[in-house]
Each structure stands twice: as structure tokens, then as C-alpha cells.
A and B are shown apart, each in its own frame.
Chain A
């Protein structure tokens, strides 16, 4: 029971991260391996503000905002030129960004572990006299991710901008003919994804320790979660994230935390060999 609750909280974070990867993959066909360091940088911006005496929420907002700017800038400056180049160039590029941001954060913010405050309590809730492992912060995590999901859903389904973004992702050529500024939509997609990524970075950090490498393994878990969901569908990403969070929590509880990454690898290999389109794939993946 406690393991499952812990897994759910963790799963919500993976889901948020997977959502960020999916948003980018859907529109630009790029898996953004630099997502983790991008989120790490924004978390450090929040930490700097909080340490300077501002409230947690100002730091929180600043992190999301800087995520927005960072995502847009990276898309415009670095990603745009390789858009129609071979796949491998984009992969290497995001890995180069990974190293760059990582090292930049270490130069600016230092390489030691620093504690990051939690917005709410970290003590387990009491239900009928027994303490369960669901903390107020844990609930906040789940609520925050759920809110983001609903907001994204509303954006894509009911707004004009959302429609244009979907059109540019689905068929850039036709969208361009219909007068959609596809380039802008791609930038917006990256910016939104970076915001969601920043959120997951903040949620992982809260109540824990941060250092430049604290998100490194998350990119793998987020990727596995996104692949579970098929890399294309936001809903799939969330379900994949929760599934992965639960499974990894059980592995960590019963086998040992050292094997979590290995379990994630095995799950990934299993999914990719048996159902390459993801567990929730409806139509077969479009191959370009």
C-alpha cells in the first residue's frame, strides 16, 4: 500500500516529464535529451531566488517562466537549423546541449548538493491512527501534474492556438498552406514542453537535494514512460508515467534501489521489442 502510494507520487513526476518529451516529439520528431538539464537549470533559478529570501511560490513561478524562455530560445537558435537534417544530428545536438547546460550549471551554481525546500509538509498523513506514506507535498505533486494535464487538454482541444499547434505537428506543409505560422507553433511547443519539464524538475527537487546531475536519470525514466505510451500521445505519457512509477517503486521496495535503472531498461526493451508502438498505440506509427 505504502509502496504503491510512493510509486504514484513518483509516477506523477515521470508523467510530467514524459509529457514534456511527447510535446516536443509530436511537433518536431526530436527526443529532447536535454530536457533534464533544462529543468535542472530552472530549478536552480528557483533555488537562487528562494535562498535570496523570496517565497517558495515566487521561485516556482520564476522557474516556470524561465523554462518558457529557455525552451523558446533553444528551439529558435539551436534546433531550427537541423530540422530537415538526418535524425542523428538532432539526437547528437540535444546531447551536446545536455553536456553544455550541465557544465554551465556547475560553473554558475557550483557542484555541491544543496537542499531544496518543500512547499508543504513532508510528514505522512494520518488516516485512522496509522501513518501512510502519502505526504502533503506528495498530494501537491499529483494535483499539480493533474492540473497541467487538464490545462494542456483544454489548450489543445478548445483553443484556436491549440488547434494550430496540432495542425503544425500533424502536417506542417498543409498547415502552412492554410496560413498557420508553423515555425511559431514549433517554438511555442518547445516553450510549453520546457515549462512542463521545469514543473517536473521542481516537483522532484522539493524536499530533497539538488545538484547539477540530480535529474540525469529522470530523462531515462521519462523516456521509458513516454515510450510506454507510444511517444505520440499525451494521455499515453501520463498513463505510462504512472505505470512506470508504480513498477519501479515495487522494484525498489522488494529488490533494492540499485536495480531501479536496470528494471527501467528491461521494461523499455520489453516494450520496444513486443509493442514498438507503445502499449496504447491505436494506429501503427507513422514512418517518415
Chain B
């Protein structure tokens, strides 16, 4: 147990790997206890989460906005569809996902080089143009890319080892939907560990420095262009992996799946959860997956037609997006963290204030106050010192 705590405290990679293991365990428990419908929903949450995670790195950590991530997902999805065009293809699925990631990475590099020179609204406009342009490419090369109908994705059989493992663990057969969901979530966990490590490490510090103050970053020897391009590449790669999982989940790669709406949806997930927090991207993806059916049902109960109530979900996203920016720009995770940190800081200040006021014989009071600090359950119980300190 102590060793675990040691790893948790001192090694960033170790902490991320431990979190990933816990996450994997949760995924296994959840996926084993839900039916096929929920499993596919969870797979959808996984691909939204992967893409939103990539976008979080780009927008939240590096400060570049992209409305073209839906288009980058299209490159991943079409690659997957082309590689999995007949059920007898023997290519391992992990290789397919990797190849899709690589294709999106190449495209993302090209876009990133151009984007590195653009700022704020210019960058948003350029990537918006990308989101509008890409579905047209699929239509133009209709004979190769299937035109409006798109390309079917034929999922190869569940590998024997996975079937065996499932039988060994639970004594049941693994369904295809479950297999797809596992695929999505394992991809998500791998992506998030990689992204989290990048974001915490030296590269991430550079990205943040460029976001916060270009001039100081440049003075500190950071190459702005290189930092921006690398952030774009990383997030494009994540979008490619997400597109691949999307194609496998939907068994289809079609232009109608990658409209501007998808790109805006991804941005909604990132803003909702909190710009810059990977956990926020995951929460955002979850909301985007599970909120629509819920809101649509409410609309149906209120007497709206099916098509109209289906539009209630985007209405809610849009409103929430506006409200989050106006009221809590840090998003769900950011706001929660800030209020927790704020409370802690206030309590520390209260303790310090009490100590300094009473002078040197107050060591006992100080100890008394700091013991309150470890008792988050009774913030009111810390006596009259807290309100006094907080007004400072």
C-alpha cells in the first residue's frame, strides 16, 4: 500500500498508469453489466471522448481553437473503412486504428503548419472552412469513397483470445457490441494516458506557455510555431483514432456523419467539461451521449413531434455552452476545482491570520486551526476565525 502511495506521489507516469488501470477495471465491470444497446452507446461515448480529449489538448492547453476536428475524424473513419472493406480481411484491428491515426496525423500536420500562423477568429474560420470542405471531397471522389452513401465497414470476427478471456472471466459469450465497446474504451484509455503525460510534461509546459503569453514564451526560447504545430498534430492524431472507433461503431463512414455539427459538438464537450481538463472532456462526452435521449423523451412527452424533439438536445447544448462561457468559463471540472482550491486557500489564510494576530504564544491556537483544515466535513465548525480570515 505504501509503495502505491509512493508511486502516486512521485511519478506522474505511474499515477497516470494507476488511474488507467482503475479506469480499465471500471470499464470491465460496467461493460459486463450492460446490454448491447448500452454497450454501443458507451462506444459512442468513447469516440466522442477520444476526440474531445485531443481537442482539449489543443484548445484548452495550447489555446488554439479548431472547428475542423470533425473533418479530421472523417480521415480516420474513411481510412478504417477502406482497410476493413471485406469481412475476411486479416488485418488486426489495433493496426487499423493505428493506421487511421497515422493518416489523420499527416493531414493534421499539414493543417497545423498553416494554422500555426493564425490566431483566434482567423484560426476558427479556417478550420470551419475545413469542416465544410471535407465532406465535399468524399462526394467528389464518389466512385472510390462511396459518395453520399459512404463506405460500409465490415467488422471482422471477435478474435478467439478475446472470446476465451471473456469466457474465462464471466462464463458468457462476448457480443459484437461489447467487443466494439471494449475496443473504443481501450483506445480511449491508451489515448488519455498518452495525452495526460504529454500535457504534464515538458511539451505540455511549452504549450501552456505559448497559450498564456506568446512574447514571454518566445523570450524563454520556445519556438512558437513548433509548439503550435506539435499540439495540432497530437490532437489530430487523437481525432483520427476517434474517427476509426466511430467507423467501427457505426459500421459506416459517410459524409453526413462528419458535418460541421460534429465539430461543434466536440467543442461543446470540451467547453462543458472545462477547457484544459481531460477529465472534463470525458464528462462532456458522457453528457453528449446520454443527454440527447433523455431530453428527446421530455420533448416527446411535452407533445413535440419526433423530429422537433430531436432538436431539443442541440438546443440544450447551445444554451449550456453560452451559459458556461458567461457564468463559469472554466467549465464543470475547472469550476469545481477552483472553488475547492479557493475554500482551501481561505481556510489556510484564516489559520495563518489567527496565528499571526495572537503572536508567539499562539502555537496551540495555530495547531487547533490547522486540524480543522483536515476536516472538510465541518467548514462552519472552525469557529469565528474563518469568516474573519476570509474577508481579508
Min CB distance B110 to A, Å, is: 10
Measured between beta carbons, the chain B residues less than 8 angstroms from A106 are: 307-308, 311, 314
Contact B311 A31 (CB under 8 A): no
* CB interface residues, B 291-339, toward A, < 8 Å: 304, 307-309, 311-315, 317-319, 321-322, 325-326, 329
B20, CB-defined interface residue at 8 Å: no
Measured between beta carbons, the chain B residues less than 8 angstroms from A260 are: 136
Min CB distance B237 to A, Å, is: 21
Contact B322 A88 (CB under 8 A): no
* A78 CA to B307 CA, complexed, in Å: 28
Measured between beta carbons, the chain B residues less than 8 angstroms from A98 are: 264, 318
* CB interface residues, A 210-236, toward B, < 8 Å: 216-217, 219-220, 223-224, 227
The one of B128, B136, B318 in contact with A96, judged by C-beta atoms closer than 8 angstroms, is: B318
Chain B CB within 10 Å, residue with most, of A85, A101, A272:
A272
Min CB distance A71 to B, Å, is: 16
| A216-B132, A220-B132 given; A96·B125 CB < 8 A | no
Min CB distance A249 to B, Å, is: 16
Contact A265 B133 (CB under 8 A): yes
Measured between beta carbons, the chain A residues less than 8 angstroms from B137 are: 258-259, 262
A55, CB-defined interface residue at 8 Å: no
* A122 CA to B80 CA, complexed, in Å: 45
Q: How many residues of A contact B (CB 8 A)?
A: 48
A26, CB-defined interface residue at 8 Å: no
Min CB distance B306 to A, Å, is: 10
Contact B129 A89 (CB under 8 A): no
Count A/B pairs, Cβ under 8 Å.
143
Contact B118 A223 (CB under 8 A): no
Contact A259 B140 (CB under 8 A): yes
* A217 CA to B260 CA, complexed, in Å: 9
A132, CB-defined interface residue at 8 Å: no
Chain A CB within 10 Å, residue with most, of B63, B114, B130, B322:
B322
A2, CB-defined interface residue at 8 Å: no
Contact B125 A223 (CB under 8 A): yes
Binary contact track B103-139/A, C-beta < 8 Å → 1, others 0: 0000000000010011111101110111011001101
B59, CB-defined interface residue at 8 Å: yes
Contact A272 B122 (CB under 8 A): yes
Measured between beta carbons, the chain B residues less than 8 angstroms from A91 are: 65, 120-121, 124
B268, CB-defined interface residue at 8 Å: yes
Contact A273 B114 (CB under 8 A): yes
> Nearest chain-B residue to A276 (Cβ)?
B117
Measured between beta carbons, the chain A residues less than 8 angstroms from B318 are: 96-103
B61, CB-defined interface residue at 8 Å: no
A264, CB-defined interface residue at 8 Å: yes
> Nearest chain-B residue to A264 (Cβ)?
B129
B180, CB-defined interface residue at 8 Å: no
> Nearest chain-A residue to B113 (Cβ)?
A273
Measured between beta carbons, the chain A residues less than 8 angstroms from B322 are: 78, 93, 96-97, 100
Chain A CB within 10 Å, residue with most, of B114, B308, B318, B329:
B318
Min CB distance A165 to B, Å, is: 21
The one of A31, A89, A262 in contact with B125, judged by C-beta atoms closer than 8 angstroms, is: A31
Chain B CB within 10 Å, residue with most, of A223, A260, A276:
A223
Measured between beta carbons, the chain B residues less than 8 angstroms from A129 are: none
Measured between beta carbons, the chain B residues less than 8 angstroms from A95 are: 67, 124, 264, 267, 321
Binary contact track A81-118/B, C-beta < 8 Å → 1, others 0: 11001011101110111111111101100110000000
6 further contact pairs, Cβ within 8 A, besides A100-B322, A220-B129, A258-B140: A96-B318, A99-B314, A100-B318, A102-B314, A110-B307, A220-B128
Q: Which A residues form the contact surface with B (CB < 8 A)?
A: 25, 30-31, 33, 78, 81-82, 85, 87-89, 91-93, 95-104, 106-107, 110-111, 216-217, 219-220, 223-224, 227, 256, 258-262, 264-265, 268-269, 272-273, 276
A-B contact pairs, 21 of them (CB 8 A): A25-B121, A78-B326, A93-B322, A93-B325, A93-B326, A95-B124, A98-B264, A100-B318, A100-B321, A101-B318, A103-B313, A107-B309, A107-B315, A216-B132, A256-B140, A259-B140, A261-B129, A261-B136, A268-B129, A272-B114, A276-B122
Nearest 5 pairs between A and B by C-beta?
A: A100-B318, A99-B318, A96-B321, A103-B315, A31-B121
